[in-house]
Amino acid sequence: MSTTLVPTSYVPERLPPNLPNEACETDIATIPLVAEPHRPDWQPEIPDAYLDLGPDELRERIAEARARLGERLVILGHHYQRDDIIEFADFRGDSFKLAQQAANRGDADFIIFCGVHFMAESADILTTPQQAVILPNLAAGCSMADMAQPDDVYASWDELTEVVDTSRVVPITYMNSAASLKAFVGRNGGAVCTSSNADAVLAWAFERGDQVLFFPDQHLGRNTAKRLGIDPRSETAVWNPNKALGGLRAERVRDSRVLLWQGHCSVHIRFRTDQIERAREQHPDCRVVVHPECPEPVVDAADAVGSTEFIINYVRNGPPGVYAVGTEINLVHRLHEEVAHEGKTVFCLDPVICPCATMYRVHPAYLAWVTEELAAGRVVNRISVEDETRRWARVALERMLEIV
């Protein structure tokens, strides 16, 4: 997780005075791109003319360029995007809903995907070759996806072949992975899952095989396996790709129903049970809801667990009161703003660094740039998955869409 974001007190004035300064101590308000401390690492090639523009001017320019494109353009926004991006999203959702949206928008020539690289790749795979999917900032990646390097996964599969019958092992990749890994699972009888359908996909996998290799997020894999009645202690094992046979003995590999790739999300790994205890001490009636990328003890201690979409619905449909949330701050903050008038207060369990640093790289300057380029007849930052990868990754993604 980068620490490039400016620590300062964040919106405590919008919370009732009895709440701790817990919304998030990181300032996520948009400032001109040139002032972002680590901006040169993100994507130096954005034209200089965009660097000094403030949020108001960027807003006007995005709106104008977008109006010129009309129905030809669809903008999709993941829930973790900042407000200044979300206001332009024709559709906002978690990674599953956005994949569905992309698959259903055959009418649009251009899809600007305000999210991270693996999501834009999935959108490209699910759209036609005539449609262009654009990621405003090509440096908006995902540290978790990077933890499963394709060559490591292929090598691990080969190693597994030496100790188990891999025709009975179903590889499942979380959406948060490279397109080549989605193609790998497609070719090997597996499927993609997201945090909103991991239960169903894992159950599907066990109808087809005896074991699952789940990557890259060990926490989602473990939490999901546990919900399906699989004992995390005796029936799962963590596969470390840097060690021979994942650092496991052959018997352990054979006895494990789910092999969990040693990967994690740098945002959700930060949530801890003591944060939940503190929230409950201070707000005895608070409801705690967390994302399944959080570690198992956090998920166990929470009142509810689910994808970003689930968390939103949990708060929207819940009674008035205090909600302590274990997920990314942009979503938490927006949710608080949305439901505050209903007597609900929503705050983030992690008071210090809770934005997703790579989602944050989709600064409105990039959205203005790619939209104005489109309006001028030029496509920049297109995400294009090559044909063979696309074919098999589509198989894995379509299996996922069919399972739910």
28: left (phi over 0), alpha (psi -120 to 50) or beta: alpha
Give the alpha-carbon dihedral of 292, 360, 172, 217, to 10 degrees. Answer: -50
Answer whether 264's CB lies under 8 Å from 142's CB. Answer: no
**89 or 169, CB closer to ligand SF4?**
89
Q: Is 307 in the site for ligand 13P (CB under 6 A)?
A: yes
First to last CA, the chain: 32
Tell me which residues in 179-238 interact with ligand SF4 (CB under 6 A). none
From 57-65, 194-202, 246-254, 312-320, span contacting ligand 13P (CB under 6 A): 194-202
Tell me which residues in 2-61 interact with ligand 13P (CB under 6 A). none
Shortest distance, position 142 Cβ to ligand SF4, whole Å? 3
From 49-57, 203-211, 236-244, 265-273, span contacting ligand SF4 (CB under 6 A): 265-273
Q: Residue 240: how many CB atoms within 10 A of its CB?
A: 14
Q: Is 194 in the site for ligand 13P (CB under 6 A)?
A: yes
Query: Which residue in the set 127, 173, 195, 223 belongs to the binding site for ligand 13P (CB under 6 A)?
Result: 195
**30 or 177, CB closer to ligand 13P?**
177
Q: Is 122 in the site for ligand 13P (CB under 6 A)?
A: no
Burial of 45 per CB tally in 10 Å (0-12, 13-18, 19+): exposed
Element housing 153 (H / E): helix 150-163
Element housing 156 (H / E): helix 150-163
Interaction mask 136-175, ligand SF4, x per CB under 6 A:
------xxx-------------------------------
Q: Is 173 in the site for ligand 13P (CB under 6 A)?
A: no
Burial of 26 per CB tally in 10 Å (0-12, 13-18, 19+): buried
Burial of 250 per CB tally in 10 Å (0-12, 13-18, 19+): exposed
From 35-43, 93-101, 231-239, 395-403, span contacting ligand 13P (CB under 6 A): 93-101
Give the integer Cα–Cα distance in Å for 91 and 109: 16
Peptide bond into 136 cis (omega under 30): no
Enumerate residues 6+ apart whose C-beta is below 8 A from 229: none
* # residues contacting ligand 13P (CB under 6 A): 12
Q: Which does 266 bind (CB under 5 to 8 A by kind): ligand SF4, ligand 13P, none?
A: ligand SF4
Shortest distance, position 194 Cβ to ligand 13P, whole Å? 4
- The position carrying tokens 């193609």 is 183
Shortest distance, position 176 Cβ to ligand SF4, whole Å? 5
Shortest distance, position 355 Cβ to ligand SF4, whole Å? 9
**97 or 257, CB closer to ligand SF4?**
97
Phi, psi of 365 (to 5 degrees): -60, -35
**170 or 362, CB closer to ligand SF4?**
362
Tokens coding 217: 């997020």
Query: Which residue in the set 89, 126, 260, 359 belongs to the binding site for ligand SF4 (CB under 6 A)?
Result: 359
Shortest distance, position 27 Cβ to ligand SF4, whole Å? 18
**Residues in touch with ligand 13P (CB under 6 A):** 94-96, 142, 176, 194-196, 265, 293, 307-308
Binding site for ligand SF4 (CB under 6 A): 80, 116, 142-144, 176, 265-267, 328, 356, 358-359
